[in-house]
Chains A and B, each alone.
Chain A
Amino acid sequence: MKSLQIAASGMAAQQMRVEVISNNIANMSTTAYRPRTAEFADLMYQQYLTPGTITSQVGTVVPAGIQLGTGVRPTTVSMELTQGALRQTNAELDIAIDGNGYLEITLPSGDPAYTRDGKLTRSPDGELVTSDGFPLADGIVIPADAERISISRDGEVVAYFANEAAGQPIGSISLARFVNEKGLEAMGDNLYRETEASGPANRLIPGTEGVGYIRQGYIEDSAVDVVQEISDLIEAQRGYELNSKVISASDEMLSVTNRIR
């Protein structure tokens, strides 16, 4: 009986939705996390009687035919491109991106990766690195005797020294933009990798050609809307229950069938 498998596909879909939601809720405090949504689509239809054909019995055109659906499947888990709230931390090396764009970092393998997590620190060599120790691709090294660092809205990094009034520019931070941000592959640790779907990274000066500005002393909070997630969670749970009811009803029908003699 098909309805058993159909309801099972519905339960699997809702379960996957719960997994996506629980990952969002688990990351409600992750810096610069963007929530994901599971999307579904219906499965193939069995054509018992194709619409538009001529019926054999009376010779009329079948208006709607008989097409029986076979269930549901998850299609994509897409990233929502909403920005999280900017939170002031006053830390000198905290930067948040106000608008589109990603910081490019270099992985130990030498490959680039992208992140919006701007909680930067200094490596032992004075290099600007992310909290996991990956260096920014812009390769900015802060002199050991620098007293204060200022990062401007357009990414200019200036170091100030003890007995000099004017600062010294030591580099600038660029932001990467993608044609299709949703096509980025999440690698965990707040990192993303470019894919064929995302298109190549286009590194730009902050504040130009659609990329955002850099805000020093701020951190981007997780964009998860907990209230929305909880209401989605309830919806998914009810959807799961509805499909399980179909299974028990189909089961009862089958047990009735077994009594036919």
Chain B
Amino acid sequence: MSSSIFTTLTRQQGLMQEMQVVANNLANSSTTGYKSDRAIFAEFLVPTGDDPQQSLSMGGLGGHAYQMEQGGLKFTGGQFDLAIQGDGFFMVDTPQGQRLTRAGSFQLSAQGQLIDGQGNAVLGAGGNPITIPAEVVDVAFGQDGTITGNGQIIDQIGIMTANGALMRDSNTLFSAAEGVVQAQDAKLVQGALEQSNVSPVLEMARMIEVQRAYEAGQALLEKEDQRISQLISAVRER
């Protein structure tokens, strides 16, 4: 069969996947601390036949770019609602290991430990869980993460950045395979939550683009189909 059909089909498949990325972004447009995602297409070469000089170029989904830009801050006034301004993540201790997150809607456990919405312990700057003593009522978080209550420093919440690439997990968590380091220029804001950084306008535009590109691919397939059928009938008439 004509290789242009294969090339187009890989493109169509990639567009379907990109649609999934767009759909996931829009579905998470109200998710606290969600970072939007962008599909990156890459060309890859497939050898055709024995001659290494002859190859076919195809396009496929090559990778992702997480848009790490700041989401808008929504002020809630909650004592344990925390947002990070600038680069950096909170670190939580999940059963699968330490994970990074920007979703800072925390609360206390019945034992007074600072936990996230799933019950994972939020870790301090030294990698330890944070416990707020029972007698402390008004807890204040400083810009650098210092936790004070009753006029005394209790602990410091850890704000970390990943050393290498991030990998996504569910529940707005990221994992960093290459470890984490203390974030340098992050500012902690108490009483606010970082909203999803999905831009609905951009996603809509991308969605329309994907849809039209898909239709264009389809038109190309139909043209190719016609061309081949014309070729066959022309051969047959001779």
Contacts and interface: CB of A to CB of B under 8 A. Distances in A.
Contact of B64 (A14, A17, A64): A64
Contacts, number: 203
Contact of A183 (B20, B110, B222): B110
B31 A42 contact: yes
Nearest to A244: B26
Contacts of A182: 107
B194 to A, nearest CB: 12
Nearest to A76: B117
Interface string B15-36: 1110111111111111110100
Contacts of A259: 218, 222
B203 A65 contact: no
Contacts of A246: 19, 22-23, 26-27, 207
Interface residues of B, number: 69
Contact of B111 (A66, A69, A199, A202): A199
A41 B117 contact: yes
B110 A17 contact: no
Interface stretch (A5-13, A24-32, A162-170, A185-193): A5-13
Given A41-B171, A183-B110, A260-B218, A69 B26 contact: no
A168 B64 CA distance: 74
B232 interface: no
Interface stretch (B75-83, B88-96, B122-130, B153-161): B75-83
Interface residues of A, number: 72
Given A210-B137, A246-B26, A253-B211, 15 more contacts: A3-B19, A3-B22, A37-B76, A39-B32, A42-B34, A45-B170, A65-B167, A66-B17, A68-B20, A70-B24, A71-B28, A80-B77, A197-B110, A202-B134, A246-B19
26 contacts: A6-B20, A6-B24, A9-B27, A40-B31, A45-B169, A51-B165, A64-B66, A64-B165, A65-B64, A66-B17, A67-B168, A69-B27, A75-B118, A80-B77, A180-B107, A180-B108, A180-B109, A198-B110, A200-B110, A202-B134, A210-B137, A236-B30, A245-B207, A246-B27, A253-B210, A253-B211
Interface of A: 1-4, 6-7, 9-10, 13-14, 17, 37, 39-45, 48-52, 57, 62-72, 75-76, 78, 80-82, 100, 179-180, 182-183, 196-200, 202, 209-210, 235-236, 238-239, 242-243, 245-246, 249-250, 252-253, 256-257, 259-261
